[in-house]
Structure 1
Amino acid sequence: MARRWTAGLWGCTSAVLLWLGGCTSTHLQQPPSPAQTPAKPGAASSPSASTQALQTSSAPNAKDYRKDAAKHLYLQQKDKVFKGRLPPMLYAIGVLNVDIDRQGQIQALQWTRAPRHAPEVMAEIERMVHAAAPFPAPMRLGKVTYTDVWLWDKSGRFQLDTLTEGQD
């Protein structure tokens, strides 16, 4: 019986995520220029940071680029990633579009489904995305807009739908 309930939960979750894909987007302001943004300590000088981060992406489409971007975000935000299976009730779910230029810089963020009941989550997600820039340069695409679903736990940690470990 528990398996039937879990399968039903996944089916409902999938239906909600498909429905959310049709929601309208909210455009956000342009991020501050690199001159206005303080540099991350050790970002340029640390050889281990540069070898761990994916510098370029050879993804042929936005769906494949999304995997590279998710891996990049996980590397940049290791302490904020929820380890293991997420609990059945999440604090917030958000769907965010990210426009990336040919150098991997963020051009714009648009919420397709914003978790407006949790504005602190929206602000933290935006902060993390900006802090992770530059993203892997989309070599084959030139520029790309990719979409990912942010699954946010009440602990303040997240998983991206692209790399999720599932839900209890």
Structure 2
Amino acid sequence: MKYHPTLRLATPALLGVAALLASCSSPPPEPPRAAAPAPAPAAPAARVAPPQVASSPQMVIKSSNAQDPRAYRKDAAQHIYAKNSERIWKGRMPPLLYAVGVLQVEVDGQGQVRNLSWMRAPKHAPEVIAEIEKTVKAAAPYPAPARMGKVVYTDTWLWHKSGRFQLDTLTEGQD
């Protein structure tokens, strides 16, 4: 095969120009990468809980080994705190509280609330009475009183005007 004479001369020149252009160009863009997955949210701090007995795969019922209502009151207060952690007043409460109420709660053998009875209702704040009753009922099921079958316990609710509260059983005190 014979090449045309001008092709012989042009070939080295074209190769030189191609090499020069290749050295000046930027590298081809990288293909787009998939966005990095967002970091998983931090897990909430673990809470120490009393022994648990599973009744179904979806529901866990805690049990209480308390032998009397006074001991059960602490288990119930911890349960309410766990269910309402964002509503608990942190630290010592201020000297003037919006409301103080003393409530008696009857809990059956499965941890369900059967009766509420006010021993000292904050009658000047009916909205607080309603909110405390709603909070107590919403926290069910409570730890089942395994040793007593059922229990009636009493606790004092210390209520701040912000809607946050402490229970006397777990209070951090008052200024």
- Give the TM-score normalised by the residue count of structure 1: 0.69
SS at match of 1:130: helix
Q: Deviations over 1:76-116 (max 9, x none)?
A: 01111101100000000000000000111010000000000
Question: Letter of the aligned partner of 1:93 in structure 2?
Answer: V
Instruction: Using the TM superposition, give the Cα deviation of residue 45 of structure 1 relative to its aligned residue in structure 2, in angstroms.
Output: 4.3
1:148 aligns with 2:147: no
CA distance in 2, matches of 1:139, 1:45: 21
**Aligned residue number for residue 93 of structure 2:** 86
Q: Higher Cα Rg: structure 1 or 2?
A: 2
Gaps of 5+ in 1: 1-43
- Which residue, out of 50, 53, 74, partners 1:67? 74
**Aligned residue number for residue 133 of structure 1:** 140
SS at match of 1:121: helix
Once the two structures are aligned, what percentage of the paired residues are identical? 61
SS at match of 2:86: helix
The correspondence of residues 77-116 of structure 1 with structure 2, limited to 5 A, is 77-116=84-123
* Structure in which a larger fraction of residues adopt helix: 1
SS at match of 1:89: coil
- Give the TM-score normalised by the residue count of structure 2: 0.66
Question: Letter of the aligned partner of 1:130 in structure 2?
Answer: K
SS at match of 2:90: coil
Question: Letter of the aligned partner of 1:73 in structure 2?
Answer: I
Question: Letter of the aligned partner of 2:131 in structure 1?
Answer: E
**Aligned residue number for residue 172 of structure 2:** 165
Gaps of 5+ in 2: 1-56
CA distance in 2, matches of 1:130, 1:62: 18
- Which residue, out of 57, 63, 66, partners 1:56? 63
Say which structure, 1 or 2, has more relative contact order (CA 8 Å, 6+ apart): 1
**Aligned residue number for residue 12 of structure 1:** none
Tell me the number of residue pairs that the alignment of Structure 1 and Structure 2 aligns.
119
CA distance in 2, matches of 1:166, 1:45: 37
